[in-house]
Structure 1
Amino acid sequence: MGNRLKIYIISAVLIAIGLGIFLYKHLELYIPLVPHEQVTAWTIDAQVDFTADANLPPNVQLALPYLTPNFRVLDETFASPGYGTAETTTGANRTLLWSKRRARGDQSLLYRAVVVSRPGEAAFSEGTVLPPPVPDYPEHFRYTAMALLDEARAQSADIQTFAVQLLARLFQEPMREDVKFLMDSARTETEKTERAVYILAGARIPARVLLGLTLDKSSRYQQLEPLLQVHNGEAWLTFDPQTGAQGLPENFFTWTVGSTNVLDTDHVYRPRLAFSVTSNIYDADHVLAQEREKATNVLEKISLTNLPVNLQNVYRLLLLVPLGALVIVILRNIVGLSTTGTFSPALLALSFRETGFLAGVLLFISVIGIGLTMRLYLEKLQLLVVPRIAAVVCIVIMMIMVLSLMSHGAGFQTGLSVALFPIVILAWMIERMSIVWEEEGPRAVFSEGVGTLIAASLVYAVIMQPQVQYLVFYFPELLLVVLGCMILLGRYTGYRLMELRRFRSLGD
């Protein structure tokens, strides 16, 4: 395998891994692509009001959300002064028990959940579900139910179409006489859906009721709505019992699965359960931070935002260095721009972030100009290389100190940031320019100096983009893409753009 093919394979693997992780974090973990993106979160309140029995301790048990496809619970709070709480999880449901030794008069308990939409997030178990036994129906109920099941079976091809046909008969308007008999005493939509589950058991089809809330608008008083699920041997299929439409609506927040007993109380009078829903706008970063606290995915847990703030600020700067280096690679290898040093323009651009672009350019010209003059004078003293460079470093530091004092005395704060200039790099650049001056003349020095400023300016323009800074910090795997591009550019041996004019006569 030739080196060229190896480079192509390595670059392709690096780019594929970087882009794969990037797309996964955006599409599956919902990390936004733009800074300060706004997301809608829903606040759901479940309030239980009752009158306590003065002689007996009240117990209130409320079903809580557990399996919530298409949604993720960010935060849960309980407002229950003086009450003890205990959570239990059984199968696909979770309950909260409130209890208190003594209570008098009217009582109010509150459960609040903040949820955010996460379309496509599955939560229902796809395991094996055994067919239920045929219920011991009353004689007349059995005859009518079996006749209705036979009718639906004759006009269906599988469990899915069977459920649709049965629902069309049970919930059609006006209701047939035989269906009225089957639905006798089922008053609410939830009770009717439970009756459908009961009838489906006669065909040995596993079925259950989902209760949930539709989160499409803010509402002070809202009731749990039922959906029907049937199991086809491989997965649970969800239906709207009223319309027969299949699929779980994206705005349907599941509260309980397979259980319609949402509120259970002991030793209380007149218990009432009321739901209210309201929407709020949150910053996506805030939502992600809350999700990360409960995350089980490794990529969700591993994030630079988990580091202390001072380290975060360090990496916000360091992660821009490879990107600046890529810009320099393009400018030198593709464009053919001549600079003083290889990556010193990138480091210079990073210092411009602190000083400001215009002030940074002026400081750079001042320091390089004075330093180059002093370096040429030191040349006349015929010093050795190492002492000469050390002297230049000392001169650069003193110049920076003088500029800081002068700017502070004049009431400007920009000069105080000059200490962030890469001092050693400046000293080396002065040394390099003085050698070029001796070997090639002042024109070459001027050309390299201008090229350095142009390169630093372009790097500065790239790394100062808020979108670029955000992507590099929240998606550091993109550095693998940068690395792959660098390796690919390392094999470029064609003409540079600035050489086209130079060799144009050969083409003629």
Structure 2
Amino acid sequence: MNRTFKALLLTLFLAAIGLSIFIHKLIASDVPLLPNQAFKSWYIEAKISFVSQPSPLMEEELPTTVKFHLPQDSQRYNIVEDDFVNEGFTREIETDKKSANRLAVFTKQDSNDVSDFIFYRANIKRKAGLDPIEKDVPISGRRLVDKQMIRFGENTERAKDNLQENLPVTEIINLIQEANAKSRDRLSFVQTIYQLALNPEDIRIKAISRNVRKPDSTVQVAAFLLERAEVPVRVGNGIFLRGEEVYSTDFVEWLEVRDGDEWLVFDPLDQSFKAQNSYLTWWYGTDRILQAQGANQVDLEVVVQPDTNQGLTQSILDDEKPKNPFLEYSFLRLPLATRCHFNSNGIDRRWASCCDGKFRH
């Protein structure tokens, strides 16, 4: 009887420990417990790789300057923290007051110890009081993909040259007049212009598409025409934060029009205008997310992961005094560059890209 009683006590003790750990992890993290629940925070990891192919007569080329757009606060999401690995490059972050675009400018130093990649990581949190998005249909229905980019800015310069030398004035006027005849107000004018821009076989649209950076982008063609009609518009670029464990992502672009004091997104799927609260806004404009000078090839990879350690992460970011003494020695307290040295031991596979040049997930 004594032995059975001791075994029962030990079983209850171990069960209590297991239950306590489960409850603690559930409270201290944002891991959903039920299928209808969703993550509240995410990690965004972007890796810029300089893939040079030097000739026998030339040394390996690394960019002298890299300009990279950073995500910004939006109606649904906040940027909690930015972190970088840019060995051999100085870093300066510029913010445009008009568009709120954040631009990280990396300049190569005169040093032999220059890395062949730049790594960026952000912690994103959904604002309190906002429900998760159930639908994942992109507003524009189009993706802006820059997986492998060579000679950054080439398309932009071509579009600028066409604007100066081959501006299709007749086609622009003709399309604006047609849209005016079919519209009753500014918003219906935007709807009509977008519908006209959806027809790539229209010879007028073909002529105009040569004046935008991405000729096959309906959003950019429509924005180009609306700007000529003096309608305040802008092109938004961002990503959709899903509730899946791990996934890669592409950029989505959308069209916004100013109506009074607010910006409204045009959704071509249902022809409606609404506030932009579906995406994490990365930048506004038709320029690339990334520009590099002095490199013959640059690759960009973006990966998004839900943050399953949000309670621990937030305590560290807020610099709170940890209630648990183990928090004081948490892996998350280490600087970003220092964490990379531990990947070979399997401590955090998400950071392995810092060390071996590949995203692991």
TM-score, length-scaled by structure 1: 0.43
The letter of the residue matching 1:101 is D
Q: Over aligned residue pairs, what C-alpha RMSD do you find? A: 3.7
Q: Give the C-alpha shift of residue 187 in structure 1.
A: 7.6
Aligned equivalents of 1:83, 1:219: Cα separation in 2: 30
Q: Distance in 2 between matches of 1:204 and 1:214?
A: 30
Query: Which of residues 121, 125, 133 in structure 2 aligns to 1:116?
Result: 125
Say if 1:74 and 1:190 are closer, same or farther in 2 by CA, change over 3 A: farther
In the alignment, is the contact (CA less than 8 A) between 1:60 and 1:97 conserved in 2? yes
Aligned residue number for residue 116 of structure 2: 107
2:261 alignment partner, SS class: coil
Match of residue 69 from structure 2: 63
Q: CA contact under 8 A between 1:119 and 1:250: conserved in structure 2? A: no
Q: Which residues of structure 2 form unaligned runs of 5+? A: 1-25, 31-38, 53-58, 131-161, 325-361
Q: Are residue 183 (structure 1) and residue 189 (structure 2) matched?
A: no
* Match of residue 206 from structure 1: 232
Question: Which ranges in structure 1 are unaligned for 5 or more consecutive residues?
Answer: 1-33, 122-134, 294-305, 311-508
Aligned residues of 1:64 and 1:93 also touching (Cα < 8 A): yes
Does the CA contact (< 8 Å) of 1:167 and 1:242 recur in 2? no
Q: Secondary structure at the match of 1:246?
A: strand
1:183 is matched by which residue type in structure 2?
S
Measure the CA separation in 2 of the matches of 1:78 and 1:171: 40
- The residue identity in structure 2 corresponding to 1:40 is K
- Is contact 2:212–2:224 with CA below 8 Å preserved after alignment? no
Secondary structure, aligned partner of 2:224: helix
Question: Residue 203 of structure 1: CA displacement?
Answer: 1.3
When residues 58 and 218 of structure 1 are mapped into structure 2, their CA distance, relative to the original with a 3 A threshold, is farther
The answer on whether the counterparts of 1:56 and 1:102 sit within 8 Å (CA) in structure 2 is no
Trace 1:209-358 onto structure 2 (pairs within 5 A).
Answer: 209-216=235-242, 217=244, 221-240=248-267, 244-248=271-275, 250-258=277-285, 260-283=287-310, 285-286=311-312, 289=315
Aligned pair partner of 2:194 in 160, 167, 180: 167
- In 2, Cα distance between equivalents of 1:46 and 1:150: 44
Q: Which has the higher contact order (CA 8 A, sep 6+)?
A: 2
Shift of 1:258: 3.0
Equivalence for 1:97: 105
Change (3 A) 1:143 1:119: farther
Match of 2:47 in 1: 47
Q: Report deviation, 1:56.
A: 7.5
Contact 1:47 / 1:273 at 8 angstroms: preserved in 2? yes
User: What letter corresponds to residue 41 of structure 1 in structure 2?
Assistant: S
Judging changes above 3 Å, is the alpha-carbon distance between structure 1 residues 202 and 55 closer, same or farther for their aligned structure 2 residues?
Answer: closer
Letter of the 2:43 partner, please give it: T
> Equivalent residue for 2:8?
none
Larger radius of gyration: 1
Quickly say closer, same or farther: Cα 1:37–1:43, change in 2 above 3 A: closer
Tell me how far apart the structure 2 counterparts of residues 287 and 56 of structure 1 sit (CA, whole Å).
Answer: 34
Q: Which amino acid in structure 2 is aligned with residue 277 of structure 1?
A: V
- Deviation at 1:198? 1.8
Distance in 2 separating the partners of 1:35 and 1:206: 46
Q: Distance in 2 between matches of 1:218 and 1:182?
A: 42
State the TM-score, normalizing by the size of structure 2: 0.58
- Residue equivalent to 1:81: 87
Note if contact 1:211-1:226 (Cα within 8 Å) is conserved in structure 2.
yes
Distance 1:165 1:120 in 2: 36
Determine if contact 1:60/1:263 at 8 Å carries over to the other structure: yes
276 and 103 in structure 1: CA distance in 2 versus 1, 3 angstrom threshold: farther
8 Å contact 1:74–1:290 — kept in the other structure?
A: no
Matched, 1:154 2:181: yes
Q: What one-letter code is carried by the residue in structure 2 that aligns with 1:98? A: F
User: Could you say if the C-alpha distance between residues 109 and 209 of structure 1 is closer, same or farther in structure 2, counting changes exceeding 3 Å?
Assistant: same
**AA at the equivalent of 1:77:** D
Contact preservation (8 Å) 1:145, 1:199? yes
Letter of the 2:50 counterpart: F
**Higher helix content, 1 or 2:** 1
How many angstroms apart in 1 are the aligned matches of 2:251 and 2:62?
30
Structure 1 segments of 4+ aligned residues over 6 angstroms from their partners: 135-140
Q: Give yes or no for contact 1:230–1:236 (8 Å, CA) kept in 2.
A: yes
- Give the conservation status (yes or no) of the 8 Å contact 1:156–1:165: yes
Q: Secondary structure at the match of 1:161?
A: helix
Partner in structure 1 of residue 168 of structure 2: 141
Q: Give the distance between the partners of 1:71 and 1:232, measured in 2 at CA.
A: 22
CA contact (8 A) 2:61 2:296 kept: no
Q: CA deviation at 1:148?
A: 1.5
Distance 1:242 1:254 in 2: 20
Q: In 1, distance between residues paired with 2:284 and 2:219?
A: 13
CA gap of 1:287–1:190, structure 2 versus 1, over 3 A, is farther
Q: Kindly provide the amino acid, as one letter, of the partner of residue 202 in structure 1.
A: R
Q: CA deviation at 1:140?
A: 7.3
Identity over aligned pairs, percent? 21
CA–CA distance in structure 1, aligned partners of residues 241 and 254 of structure 2:
15
Letter in 2 for 1:234: D
Are the structure 2 counterparts of residues 270 and 65 from structure 1 closer, same or farther at C-alpha, using a change threshold of 3 Å?
Answer: same
Matched residue of 1:114: which SS?
strand
Q: Distance in 2 between matches of 1:194 and 1:220?
A: 27
